[in-house]
Amino acid sequence: MSAERVSVTHRIAAPAAALYAIVSDPAGHVRIDGSGMLEAAPDAQPVTAVGDTFDIAMDRAPLNDIPGLGKYVVRNTITQLEPGRLVEWTVGAPDQPPLGHVYGWQLDPVDDTHTDVTNYCDWSNIVEALRATGRTWPIVPVSMLEETMAKLERVAVEG
């Protein structure tokens, strides 16, 4: 696995359809995010097709990882969508093209009541123009993906 890609996989005691309903809903996804710095746009709707977009308001200041980067809006564009199985999106800004990093949820049904779920982040396609400036982006830590997965499991299992 590349250092620019991290993923976490867990078996969750819920059917894939129930999990997919959560991860394809931007507002639902953000509510289970572990970073504590995200808020979905109030009109976010469940994604239904490649090309669908949803905005998330970010506040980087609490993380203190990129000096001077406080509040901003991120435009997310769905790049892959397989109903019941996969949701993947790339990140950009409302007035700019995608930056090249990709997030995703992959669901692999085990049986009617269990699903292997993978949450991943891949920075390997970050645009070369940004690399050329010497700018580096923090890799999402495995611990954040694990926390997100734990929250997904609680939402799916407990309702």
- Cβ contact 55:44 at 8 Å: yes
**Domain of residue 104, residue span:** 5-158
- Cβ contact 35:154 at 8 Å: no
What whole-number distance in Å separates Cα of residue 156 and Cα of residue 159? 5
Indicate which CATH number applies to the domain containing 152.
3.30.530.20
- Cβ contact 60:54 at 8 Å: no
Identify which of 131, 69, 59, 72 has the alpha carbon closest to the alpha carbon of residue 99.
131
Helix (H) or strand (E) holding 9: strand 5-12
pLDDT per residue rounded down to tens, the chain (159 residues)? 446 788 999 999 999 999 999 999 988 888 777 666 777 766 788 999 998 988 888 776 766 666 677 777 788 889 999 999 999 998 876 566 666 678 999 999 999 999 999 999 887 776 666 666 665 555 567 888 888 899 899 999 887
3-state SS, 34-80, equals CCCCEEECCCCCCCCCCCCEEEEEEECHHHCCCCCCCEEEEEEEEEE
| Total tally of structural domains belonging to the chain | 1
